[in-house]
Amino acid sequence: MREMASSLEPLNRWVDEVARLTRPDRIHWCDGSDAEYDSLVETMLGTGDLIALNPETNPRSYLHRSHPSDVARVEHLTFVCTPKEDDAGPNNHWMAPADAHAKIDALFDGAMSGRTMYVIPYCMGPIDSPIARCGVEITDSPYVVANMRIMTRMGTPALKRIEREGRFVRGLHSTGDLDPSRRFIMHFPDELSIKSIGSGYGGNALLGKKCHALRIASYQARQEGWLAEHMLIVGVENPKGEKHYIAAAFPSACGKTNLAMLIPTEGHRKDGWKIWTVGDDICWMTPGEDGRLWAINPEAGYFGVAPGTGPNTNPSALATLSHDAIFTNVALTADNRPWWEGLGEGEPVTDWQGRPYDKANGPAAHPNSRFTVSAKQCPSWAPEAEEARGVPLSAIVFGGRRPSLVPLVFEARDWAHGVLVGAAMGSETTAAATGAVGVLRRDSMAMKPFCGYNFADYFAHWLSFDQPGAHLPKIFHVNWFRKDGDGAFMWPGYGDNLRVLEWMIGRVEGTVPGLETPIGTVPAAGELNVRDLALRNGALSELLNVDIEGWRAELDHIGEYLDSFGERMPERLKAERKRVGDALVAAAVGMEKERAIG
């Protein structure tokens, strides 16, 4: 591989610089081959970094246990390092680039001594896609190499594209000594580079994922006129065989993967509806010559949360995981099968730390335990996921977990209104999770932890796509989590969410008029397909109700939130908030007049 890369002088110089700093015992250039992967697996089985699972129930699948202090992303140790602090924005932790390099390079000094340094060329997106971008991750973790092979197009083809293009994102990673006080993830957007040390956990160590595909890519996308978003991409095929592609952004615990792999209700299946999974986590989209937004899933695999994944919530995910998967921090059954809460079968005998399972020690599987698996193993995988030009988006959906106020679904009036809707999205906490009920945490476009620059500039970038000749997707907001007075969910969710997607497609095609309200368009009476759906009397009306006074208070809170990003907040977004507020005031006045007449 080194000979093949001889003409890649910038890459070769960087690898040499890193080797002098980190002082590994050996250097291995990854080619992405089956033989290489098999060799890595054998090595990790020998060291105990991987445990082979039951070959009959989970062939070619393995368990990895990370250090108990290293089980999740570390937002407080994640920095965006731009020359000016305002460019990183209040949505990011900031450090001056020179200070960040000095701090983290001191930790990299000799960090790979006694280890192998792996050089991983990879491509985020189909290898021949103009929307795709390449990177190289240097790491001392064979676990990272194995996961990057699943999650990206890794190896020789990526290296050849890097040689042709002459540019790539540089990612340097070492597990270091796993000391949490010596753990940092630094992003240098102006340099298209990432440095991460002290963690072996996915989001901190698989640098192609959140670090490259969102934080660096979002910055790169702003410079180049596209969007890198924390969104699933799902294809919805109607009985006529027509496909609409929808991108959707949700904060955590809002059913993102479940929607990406949605299984239609029996009635919809009989009618001929089908779902196609393009991506479950990240979406890169760019304007096409036809004015539409075309999107790719830059990833080649899924790095999903295991707990809660079961036969009732996501049978497609379970089918995907039946072979050739890597599990991280799940429990084990007596016959060496992976187990987690919500799986629905089996019993754990060993917890995620390798201890005999004892309820007193907490959950058997870590709540953030994961699976890594090729996207092509998903039963609903869309072959279009490999299309170089991507897929054209008909709609963009935002959503959050709101037990009250927010309707089941509404459509934004136009693009600017849709940007406001996305900027304002968020979820309310529960007592079980935080000890406080109803605390609203806004997570604009589900990108708050992942936007690589100032959120105010990010909103302005979104607004910039509204140009003459553009045929932009319609924007919707959904809320699957509305509760009744007894605290029970009013909407069944899961496969029944296709009923809402069906209405959205009707709006895209212009076949349903909808009902205009001050906050957007909701389904008019009879428009939402509720055939064979058991809802209590009045539930649908309540699910679609727009509480005028409640929304006036909500708009005040949205204004305070937007103001928190300072002077860079685009005036157009503020004006849009005022327009909605004025419409709510007018509606309230109208209601008062009606009451007075009555």
Provide the annotated binding site for substrate: 73, 201-203, 252, 368-370
CB atoms within 10 A of CB 237: 16
Contact 546, 518 (CB under 8 A): yes
| Beta strand segments in 413-492, E | 426-428, 440-442, 474-478
SS3 434: helix
CB atoms within 10 A of CB 340: 26
End-to-end CA distance of the chain: 82
DSSP notation for 258-298? HHHT----HHHHHHT-EEEEEESS-EEEEE-TTSSEEEE--
Question: Smallest Cα–Cα separation from 477: which of 450, 503, 451, 457?
Answer: 503
Distance CA 90, CA 284 (A): 24
The token pair at 264 is: 């239609």
Element (DSSP H or E) covering residue 49: none
Distance CA 403, CA 383 (A): 37
The token pair at 339 is: 């187990």
Q: Which residues sit opposite 428 in a β-bridge?
A: 440
Kindly list the distances between the CA atom of residue 105 and the CA atoms of 18, 78, 172, 212, 550, in Å, as whole numbers in the listed order. 10, 15, 10, 20, 51
Contact 414, 197 (CB under 8 A): no
Sequence ranges of the binding site for GTP: 253-258, 370, 401, 494-497
Buried b (16+ CB within 10 A) or exposed e, 368-384: bbbbbbbbebbebbbeb
Interacting residues of 192 by C-beta distance below 8 A, sequence separation 6+: 167, 168, 169, 170, 216, 220
Distance CA 529, CA 512 (A): 12
The token pair at 255 is: 């059913």
Kindly list the distances between the CA atom of residue 55 and the CA atoms of 40, 94, 336, 422, in Å, as whole numbers in the listed order. 18, 47, 9, 45
Check if 378 is active-site: no
Q: How are the residues of the chain apportioned to helix, strand and coil, as percentages rounded to the nearest 5? A: 35, 20, 40
Q: Of the residues 134, 211, 254, 283, which is catalytic?
A: 254
Contact 209, 300 (CB under 8 A): no
Contact 406, 477 (CB under 8 A): yes
Beta-sheet pairing, 243-249 with 193-197:
unpaired
Active site residues: 254
